[in-house]
Amino acid sequence: MTWKNNRQLDLRERAQKVIPGGMYGHESTKLLPSDFPQFFDRAEGARIWDADGNEYVDFMCAYGPSLLGYGFKPVEEAAASQRARGDTLTGPSDVMIDLAEQFVAQISHADWAMFCKNGTDATSMAMVIARAYRDRKTILCAKGAYHGAAPWCTPRMAGITPGDRANIVYFEYNDADSLADAFKQHEGDVAGVFATPFRHEVFADQYVVDADYAQLARRLCDEADALLIVDEVRAGFRIARDCSWESLGVRPDLSSWGKCIANGYPISALLGSEKARTAASTVYVTGSFWFQAVPMAAALKTLEVVRTTDYLEQIQRSGQRLRDGLDGLAKAHGFGLRQTGPATMPQILFEEDRDFRIGYGWVTECMKRGVIFSPYHNMFLSTGHGDAEIDFSLEVADEAFRAVRARNAELEPHPVLVALLGL
Amino acid sequence: MTWKNNRQLDLRERAQKVIPGGMYGHESTKLLPSDFPQFFDRAEGARIWDADGNEYVDFMCAYGPSLLGYGFKPVEEAAASQRARGDTLTGPSDVMIDLAEQFVAQISHADWAMFCKNGTDATSMAMVIARAYRDRKTILCAKGAYHGAAPWCTPRMAGITPGDRANIVYFEYNDADSLADAFKQHEGDVAGVFATPFRHEVFADQYVVDADYAQLARRLCDEADALLIVDEVRAGFRIARDCSWESLGVRPDLSSWGKCIANGYPISALLGSEKARTAASTVYVTGSFWFQAVPMAAALKTLEVVRTTDYLEQIQRSGQRLRDGLDGLAKAHGFGLRQTGPATMPQILFEEDRDFRIGYGWVTECMKRGVIFSPYHNMFLSTGHGDAEIDFSLEVADEAFRAVRARNAELEPHPVLVALLGL
């Protein structure tokens, strides 16, 4: 079937009238190649269909939430069964306690859990609790790290005031001196330190954190009686079944979770250690739908799959097959690929592609042949990505490398990107 | 069936271990009478069953979301049909455009819509857009008004820094001089003014706003080129089918919506006028689940019911029947009731009840007989509250008045309340 986008174009025109800029937030395609589908119709497993009926193998997984594949039956059944009883009620259901107990049993550092909706809810709650803990103000964040879209952390500064950032101090990620220096500069007032499991910024190579650095972060927090927060919203359950810094010998005081913890159902969580419990019980945080029972039932089932199946080894294996395959194909076509980060959350950039024109060209060619990759954002594997999906994606990638090579001279950088990155 | 709470007590004990304070947020029962059910099992129409199987007519409606009754079929069917296609995907579905178009068609001031999850998302987005509009900082809010639980607005100060509130200025609601004065004090820097449709604070009588005052707010905003924001999160669609200040001859620039707009499905919205469109397209706001298609399909169906049925007249009539009935019963038993606010969102306080002991006693007696009222928070009517539910509730209320009268001397104020209100 030939790729087409007539309906997509109509929808975009309608959206332009009733949604500012036609679309907003992380699912906006403004930064993606211009033909990228903005509106989707349905999905199943690792497959997604756009508004024109074009079918794709989707390596974005809804930007994370689909861990076990879209419409994964056991989770859908758990959700349906809870839905038949009740969802948004005048109080929580007992499934809230089951879920909190399960998180506490499963995540080594956790002694308690609080549930919310957005990843930003969980990180903001972590910030407020860290400040309440010893009544301090300063929060240390790594420069460029994404912790959500609230005034204290959103990456774009329109509408943000100096007050919103007055006590947010930035250091260089994975740089021991920079972190130690930030502690020194704000001695006596450091409330907490945010850390991502690994560095996963857009338009950049990803890299894992050094164990030495992670352990230093823990030690500095202990010495200052500040809380260490690991933000697992994006990477949770795609690196480990536990908190991802456990393997580095580091146990945080708080960890924020979201995206995939209920395989697409809307719920996020803040987990905490005993030390932070009193502070957590003094802050006032809430939301109209935070106590919905259906997403909690979906999360409980997702945790069971995480605990009892080889889902992690499956996505690691599929991710590695994709990575190895792409490496070989790129070489054969004379391209240098930089594939970084965990194979379950791949980032694919091209060597000698300063203005990203090769990457954008290749991703466009893949997309028109039925595979959705991102030219700047890390991607996500799900257990829906089986051998058939990886094989198909590699075939498509092969043709796309050839096509990009053929029209090399015509490639141009994306205009929005040129403006944004000052290229 | 006799009211019992054995399972409730077990659940509370378990919750105490894995959730800070046993529960948090607006659905915590800490401020409610000590026997109040914290955990619920299922619901249907206006009826809810707690964890011990006690059945109640529920006048909290999940603190607002249930407008058409729990499990309202047409909304559930629209949600199920969308769910079969897809929910949390790599991009929005076309239902997002349908929903934005419908809001624009239905709400007079709206030229565009943005969707999010929490009511707080919508109000925070309004704040950020108002600041982006003319690159100013000051936001005017009425003293004591609830606009959500983010650092800039949460009612409890634990973990909140002066920076978070640096540019939030408070005035007295419905007080023309106070508002005009706030504008004068911050001349040249007022970005926006928050207004609630009517005054609906906890532990206090509610009152409607004067048209004169509302019109002054509009005029002051126009003169200062600041944005007027009406926060409809709590009251939306329970006072009017349109924005609630339309009937006062006032059209806001932004309005925030949530709670009941999808009859319990998790979605909130910010609506805006043409004037605010550019600012809205420059801010960066997003959330992992903001583009879920199922809550949008549920909202689209809810809007249709709002537009095409007499749901509003139904809940007004039921609310008025309840109010008139309670007034008569209270008098007969020698109590003075202060029933304030719209009949669809009743607040019930007792005369000569400074420490709320009579109210708490009466609400406890009602609860144990099968009706959930709140002794301090406004309540909510739904179309699930038919004649049978109102009749039953009045019978229960009658017995409860008698019981409270009988044990008048034993009533004591709620200990948490005593501490909180400094009684």
C-alpha dist (Å) from residue B228 to A20, B209, B242: 18, 15, 16
Can you give the pLDDT at residue B1?
A: 65
Which residue of B55, B288, B363, B377 is the best one to mutate when testing the A interface, meaning the one whose CB has the most A CBs within 10 A? B288
Per mean pLDDT, which range of A141-145, A161-165, A204-208, B152-156 is the poorest?
A204-208
- What residues of chain A, 263 to 282, have a C-beta less than 8 Å from chain B? 264-266, 268, 272, 277-282
The number of angstroms, rounded, from the C-alpha of A60 to the middle of its chain's C-alpha atoms is: 10
Q: Where are the domains of chain B?
A: 6-63+310-421, 73-308
Is the CB of A118 less than 8 angstroms away from the CB of B114? Answer: no
Q: Mean per-residue pLDDT for A205-223?
A: 95
Q: Which two tokens stand for residue B218?
A: 């509009």
B39 reaches A (C-beta below 8 A): yes
Q: pLDDT tens, A14-47?
A: 999 999 999 999 999 999 999 999 999 999 999 9
Can you give the pLDDT at residue A1?
A: 65
pLDDT band at A417 (very low <50, low <70, confident <90, very high): confident
Q: pLDDT tens, B252-297?
A: 999 999 999 999 999 999 999 999 999 999 999 999 999 999 999 9
User: Which residue from B115, B289, B298, B94 is spatially nearest to A62, judged by alpha carbons?
Assistant: B289
A154 reaches B (C-beta below 8 A): yes
| DSSP 8-state code for residue A192 | E
Q: What is residue A208's three-state secondary structure?
A: strand
Write out chain A residues lying below 8 Å of B21, CB-based.
280-281
Residue B338 burial (CB count, 10 A):
15
Query: Cα-Cα-Cα-Cα dihedral of B159, B165, B169, B175, to 10°?
Result: -30
Q: Residue for token digits 């069964």? A: A81
Could you say which residues of chain B have pLDDT below 50? none
Is the CB of B158 less than 8 angstroms away from the CB of A101? Answer: no
Which residue of A6, A18, A82 is the best one to mutate when testing the B interface, meaning the one whose CB has the most B CBs within 10 A? A18
Residue B293 burial (CB count, 10 A):
24
Q: pLDDT tens, A389-407?
A: 999 999 999 999 999 999 9
ipTM over 0.95: yes
CATH topology for the B73-308 domain = Aspartate Aminotransferase; domain 2 (3.40.640)
Cα distance between residue A327 and residue A192, in whole Å: 40
Q: pLDDT tens, A156-195?
A: 999 999 999 999 999 999 999 999 999 999 999 999 999 9
Backbone angles phi, psi at B367, to 5 degrees: -60, -45
Can you give the pLDDT at residue B417?
A: 87
The number of angstroms, rounded, from the C-alpha of A365 to the middle of its chain's C-alpha atoms is: 25
CATH 3.90.1150.10 is the classification of domain A6-63+310-421: yes
- H helical segments located in B86-238: 95-106, 119-134, 176-185, 211-224
User: Which residue from B124, B141, B134, B110 is spatially nearest to B222, judged by alpha carbons?
Assistant: B134
Can you give the pLDDT at residue B421?
A: 78
What residues are paired with A114 via a beta bridge? A270
Write out chain A residues lying below 8 Å of B104, CB-based.
18
Is the CB of B20 less than 8 angstroms away from the CB of A114? Answer: yes
- Residue pairs between chains A and B whose CB atoms are closer than 8 Å: 337
Is the CB of A286 less than 8 angstroms away from the CB of B26? Answer: yes
B113 reaches A (C-beta below 8 A): yes
Chain B nearest C-alpha distance from A212 (Å): 30
pLDDT band at A420 (very low <50, low <70, confident <90, very high): confident
CB-based contact A296:A335 (threshold 8 Å):
no
Q: pLDDT tens, A60-97?
A: 999 999 999 999 999 999 999 999 999 999 999 999 99
Is the CB of B27 less than 8 angstroms away from the CB of A90? Answer: yes
Residue type, A329: L
Can you give the pLDDT at residue A138?
A: 98
CB-based contact A319:A206 (threshold 8 Å):
no
Cα distance between residue B69 and residue B73, in whole Å: 9
B73 reaches A (C-beta below 8 A): no
Which residue of A10, A97, A154, A372 is the best one to mutate when testing the B interface, meaning the one whose CB has the most B CBs within 10 A? A97
Domains A6-63+310-421 and A73-308 share a fold: no
Cα distance between residue A258 and residue B286, in whole Å: 14
Cα distance between residue A36 and residue A41, in whole Å: 14
Cβ neighbours of residue A145 under 8 Å, at least 6 residues apart? A173, A194, A196, A199, A201, A231
Write out chain B residues lying below 8 Å of A112, CB-based.
17-20
Cα distance between residue B99 and residue A15, in whole Å: 10
Can you give the pLDDT at residue B262?
A: 98
Residue A422 has pLDDT above 80, yes or no: no
Q: Structure pTM?
A: 0.97
| DSSP 8-state code for residue A45 | B
Write out chain B residues lying below 8 Å of A48, CB-based.
86, 89-90
Write out chain A residues lying below 8 Å of B37, CB-based.
91
B341 reaches A (C-beta below 8 A): no
Q: Residue for token digits 């107990």? A: A101
Cα distance between residue A149 and residue B128, in whole Å: 11
| DSSP 8-state code for residue B372 | E
Is the CB of B60 less than 8 angstroms away from the CB of A90? Answer: yes
Write out chain B residues lying below 8 Å of A68, CB-based.
none
Chain B nearest C-alpha distance from A293 (Å): 9
Is the CB of B161 less than 8 angstroms away from the CB of A51? Answer: no
C-alpha dist (Å) from residue A42 to A58, B215, B408: 12, 46, 61
The percent helix, strand, coil of chain B (3-state, each to 5) is 45, 15, 40
Write out chain A residues lying below 8 Å of B65, CB-based.
88, 288-289
Cα distance between residue A17 and residue A29, in whole Å: 17
CB-based contact B50:A140 (threshold 8 Å):
no
